[in-house]
């Protein structure tokens, strides 16, 4: 069957950045399952997979607007080191869970430390990055009614509950 809305798709994939380095890959793991048309994966990849079928291999270039979004410099913030209670030695590259004004959680990355001043970046680490997915479609099946109600895939590699 071909991939359309409400298909469950299992993919092997390797994600590389503009420098050709691998960012993430399913190699050595079970294929990634997702529910097509439910926004489980980034739009640029999901759109490219519509109409494909099991066994197809493709390479998909995804610009930031179709991926993890553009960088927003307003999401850079300078805070006092004392805001990091219990972390004695803040260093560039550390990541923390932060809670936003609406209670949503975001991962922030420390991008600079100068004395007591810590610069944190709440952009997604892949915001503003051109991505390339090398994808092999392993399986395509119809979603169960329960999967459609939940908006995600159940079973191996999917949600367990
Ligand atoms: Zn579920």
Q: Where are the domains of the chain?
A: 7-68+127-150, 73-121
C-alpha of residue 138 to centroid of ligand 1, in Å: 21
Q: pLDDT tens for residues 56-109? A: 999 999 999 999 999 999 999 999 999 888 888 999 999 998 877 777 788 899
151: left (phi over 0), alpha (psi -120 to 50) or beta: left
Q: In the 8-state DSSP scheme, what is residue 74? A: G
- Out of 1.10.150.130, 3.40.50.300, 3.10.50.40, 3.40.50.360, the CATH code matching 7-68+127-150 is 3.10.50.40
Alpha carbon of 159 to ligand 1 centroid (Å): 6
Ligand 1 is an ion; its neighbours by CB within 5 Å are: 150, 159
pLDDT at 84: 86
Please check whether the two domains, 7-68+127-150 and 73-121, share a CATH topology: no
Does position 153 have pLDDT exceeding 80, yes or no? yes
40 — alpha (psi -120 to 50), left (phi > 0) or beta?
alpha
Q: What fold characterizes domain 73-121?
A: Thrombin, subunit H (2.40.10)
The answer to which of 37-46, 50-59, 99-108 has the lowest mean pLDDT is 99-108
């Amino acid at each position: 069957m071909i991939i359309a809305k409400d298909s469950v798709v299992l993919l092997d994939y390797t994600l590389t950045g503009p420098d050709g380095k691998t960012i993430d890959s399913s190699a050595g793991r079970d294929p990634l399952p997702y529910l097509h048309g439910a926004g489980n994966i980034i739009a640029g990849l999901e759109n490219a997979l519509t109409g494909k079928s099991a066994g197809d291999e493709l390479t998909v270039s995804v610009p930031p607007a179709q991926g993890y979004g553009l960088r927003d410099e307003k999401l850079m913030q300078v805070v006092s080191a004392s805001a990091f209670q219990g972390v004695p030695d803040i260093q560039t590259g550390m990541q923390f869970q932060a809670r936003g004004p609406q209670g949503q959680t975001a991962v922030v990355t420390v991008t600079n430390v100068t004395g007591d001043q810590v610069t944190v970046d709440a952009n997604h680490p892949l915001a503003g990055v051109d991505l390339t997915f090398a994808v092999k479609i392993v399986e395509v099946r119809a979603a169960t009614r329960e999967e459609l109600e939940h908006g995600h895939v159940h079973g191996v590699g999917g949600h367990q509950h």
